[in-house]
Amino acid sequence: MPATEIYLDANATTPVIPEARAAAIAAMAGDFGNPSSIHGSGLKARAMMDNVRARARRVLDAPTGELLFLSGATEGIQTAVFSALTSLRSRQDRGEAMPELLLYGATEHKAVPEAIHHWRRLLNLDFEVLAIPVGRDGRHDLEWLRRQAPRAALVCTMAANNETGIISDLDGIQRALAGSPALWMVDGVQALGKLRLSLGDRPIDYAPFSGHKLYAPKGIGMLYVRAGAPFTALIVGGGQEGAMRSGTENMPGIAAMGAVLRLLEAGEQFQRADKLELYRARLAAAIREAFEGVVFNADPEITLPTTLNFSVPGVSSKVLLELFDAASIRVSTGSACGAHKAAPSYVLSAMGLESWRSASAVRLSFGPLTPPETVDEACLRIRQCGASLRDSCMTPSVQQHLLPMEPITRHVVDGAVCYVVADPASRRCLIIDPLPELTDPLVQWIRCCSYTLVAVLDTHSHGDHASSAAALWDSLPPVLGRQGETEPLGWPSGSDHIQLGAQRLTRLPIPGHTRDSAAYLLAGPYGLRAAFVGDTVMPGALGRSDFEVSEPLQFAGSLRLLERTVGRDAFLLPGHDYEGWHACTLNTEIAHQPLLSALLDHSMEAAAFAQAKAELERDLAPTEYQTMACGARVDRCSKAESVELTAAELASRTWAARKILLVDVREPYEQRLGQMPDIGTHVRRQAVPLSTLLSVLPDWLDLDAGTDLVLLCRSGNRSAQVARALRRLGQPRAWSLAGGLALWPTERPQSVPG
């Protein structure tokens, strides 16, 4: 791994700079007094606090009004919204005529709409809540706002957006609100230290700020409240902060905030906007060079000079994040990338950008203290990231690498699985169950690897997605893919097998899930390697048979035929794998699925089987991806088993005495950028990307009894998935390195301003 981490996620949080750390430590050590105490220690603490407040007023141009210290921007937002709505509630109780709209920018931080909905509900207010639309440039639709302004009771507009850095047109908003009865909140979190807000010169009623976005610690924030703006305390008690926010003040946080504000005021270390723009331009140039076809999602003219948000066609946010992380550059995805589905960014969606742009968006943000050397090093590594993608055949470039494909590669989209079966000697491959989302990446990959595509097969007519076989054929140049006559699911007409080098694929009709369901059996010189069974048998479920095109009464016969043809130990590769089990066998499924056991072990009748199955499938809920479920799951609980091993355990004497096979399951584009940690001579290393795991599965299940298999990845998610899958298939000595490379102990530099 590259030795040092480059932190380019300053819009999420920043490191605490040495000056702020020193100030916080002083406030915890010698100057630990409580500012409410009237003795010397207390007076000293109060003086420090007053000093910081005065400094904050100067920095924010807020000579009048209140400036409260509180825990952060989320609390500031709550307090502001609660104050505004409480005052509206009182007016409503008094029977006054009222404006009736609560408005917030469509790209606002979630804390804002959540707070509005929450307090509106709790205060029993009958107001309409509307999102102020934004244009493609990410800025508020001022005409819309002007039209609503006379009916608006509260308007919330951020000063700058956290995902895109787009700066709101506060002057324009102010003009649109002229004459409006609305209270106005401006979320100043991302603007602090980067934009002049001139709070005192604007009719802004509330403005929350957060320390940890500008080199102070987490847990300290500020809220500006205009003189005369309605206020109701959210927290009451000892009457601190003029009884506007009770609770003993966070003095270390306030001291640290003060140190940052001092630097900001002095204007020495904080770099000017023109310099930051230069850094951003350098980073943008490196990104352009690295990623062909990249698009930037915000106009730099109206964006914070410290934020870049971009999308790379054909490459998901998740892949880009993994790539950057492998190069030890910390960035953030524009979309909320859960473990399962990458939810498109609501910010980019609100701007009306195409869905692919939200699905592949990455945010890179640095701080006003980032030194030029960090920018230079980041540019270098970004170029390496681009090279790694190109070398992994993941960019649209026409270059050819003649990369060998593994015998079986799998790609998963929202639980649906597509397989590429390849023969490296003849450079021929075929695809089973193509998915529309994969058309471009697969075409790119096949082209770049210079393989000939000989067939595109579907295991059945899918209920949840269309086959993309035709699109695949259309996109490949004729030398790499040629379509002869085929049957509806893609099988070459008149053939009884497809030869792929030494491997041979045959077809076995197994109607049930659908009338046309088929399994494809892959046999090598040493016998059957795997059966692609579509949705007929999945780990933990049998394919549902309640579609119009299903044959429920033939399902039992098909399962028996499958058993007779492939046996109970053959690997069955499913068309859907929601839980990441990768493969199953009839034996594993008999152990986990009572209905299958009743059929195959206890000769249940086909009709009784169909009836019991129909019971299971009644009212099937959609999957966690909100796609249609392909079968009723009966096997959820086996995930509880712990498979994790910490780095300390692995380094311990007990483990040092064992034979270990340490496997990096990250993908090649990540592996190219960094190596595995060094653990010791007892450790054998291997790199097996998760997508090609099926190629080594038989070896790993057959590992000699003295060897433990320890899997590692970036964060520990993928390796845990593989370890659990291996255990389910009968390998009890499979482990996952807890927290992955992210938690691997490395020496970190003491101070790296981000």
Least distance from ligand PLP to the Cβ atom of residue 413, Å: 29
Identify whether 337 is a catalytic site residue: yes
Answer yes or no: are the C-beta atoms of 413 and 435 closer than 8 Å: yes
Q: Looking at 182-190, 308-316, 342-350, 489-497, which segment touches ligand PLP (CB under 6 A)?
A: 182-190
Nearer to ligand PLP, 162 or 395 (CB): 162
Q: Which is nearer to ligand PLP, 365 or 550 (CB)?
A: 365
Query: What DSSP assignment string belongs to 413-453?
Result: ETTEEEEEEEETTTTEEEEES--GGGHHHHHHHHHHHTPEE
The reply on whether position 190 binds ligand PLP by CB under 6 A is yes
Site for ligand PLP in 130-169 (CB under 6 A): 158, 162
Q: Which of 189, 257, 294, 456 binds ligand PLP (CB under 6 A)?
A: 189
Minimum CB–partner distance for residue 167 and ligand PLP (Å):
12
Structure tokens at 438: 């994969």
Contact call for residue 754 and ligand PLP (CB under 6 A): no
Taking CB under 6 A as the criterion, the residue among 187, 516, 589, 667 binding ligand PLP is 187
Q: Which is nearer to ligand PLP, 189 or 476 (CB)?
A: 189
Is residue 430 a contact partner of residue 500, using CB atoms and an 8 Å limit? yes
- CA torsion 450-288-674-423 (nearest 10°) is -10
Q: Which is nearer to ligand PLP, 212 or 672 (CB)?
A: 212
Contact positions with ligand PLP (CB under 6 A) in 49-78: 72-74
Spatial CA neighbour of 416 closest among 360, 459, 370:
459
Beta bridge pairs of residue 248: none
> Cβ of residue 246: shortest distance to ligand PLP, in angstroms?
19
Residue 154: name the closest of 132, 169, 124 by CA: 132
In angstroms, the CA 241 to CA 206 distance is: 16
Q: Which of 156, 337, 429, 637 is catalytic?
A: 337
Taking CA atoms, 625 is separated from 171, 295, 461, 628, in Å, by 42, 27, 20, 9
Give the DSSP per-residue string, 258-310. Answer: HHHHHHHHHTSSSPPHHHHHHHHHHHHHHHHHHSTT-EESS-GGGB-TTEEEE
Site for ligand PLP in 231-260 (CB under 6 A): none
545 binds ligand PLP (CB under 6 A): no
User: How far lies 414's CA from each of 70, 107, 164, 261, 464, in Å?
Assistant: 41, 26, 26, 46, 11
Inter-axis angle of helices 40-59 and 251-266, nearest 10: 40
CB of 78 to ligand PLP, least distance (A): 9
CB of 171 to ligand PLP, least distance (A): 20
How many chain residues interact with ligand PLP (CB under 6 A)?
A: 12
Binding mask 111-130 for ligand PLP (x = CB under 6 A): x-------------------
Does 550 participate in binding ligand PLP (rule CB under 6 A)?
no
- What would the 3-class secondary structure string for 525-588 be? CCEEEEEEEECCEECCEEECCCCCCCCHHHHHHHHHHHHHHHCCCCCEEECECCCCCCCECHHH
220 binds ligand PLP (CB under 6 A): no
Q: Does 467 bind ligand PLP (CB under 6 A)?
A: no
Taking the complex as a whole, the smallest distance from the CB of residue 73 to ligand PLP amounts, in Å, to 3
To the nearest whole angstrom, how small is the minimum distance from the Cβ of residue 306 to ligand PLP? Answer: 13
Task: Name the residue nearer to ligand PLP (CB basis): 157 or 691.
Answer: 157
Q: Could you tell me which residues come within 8 angstroms of residue 48 by beta carbon, excluding any fewer than 6 positions away?
A: 27, 31, 35, 251, 254, 255, 258
**Does 304 participate in binding ligand PLP (rule CB under 6 A)?**
no
Strand, helix or coil for residue 401 = coil
Q: How far is the CB of 264 from ligand PLP (least distance, A)?
A: 18
Binder to ligand PLP among 138, 221, 441, 689 (CB under 6 A)? 221
Task: Please pick, from the candidates 21, 53, 109, 733, the single residue that binds ligand PLP as defined by CB under 6 A.
Answer: 109
Q: What is the chain's alpha carbon radius of gyration, rounded to the nearest angstrom?
A: 30
Active site residues: 337
Residue numbers at the binding site for ligand PLP (CB under 6 A): 72-74, 109, 111, 158, 162, 187, 189-190, 210, 221
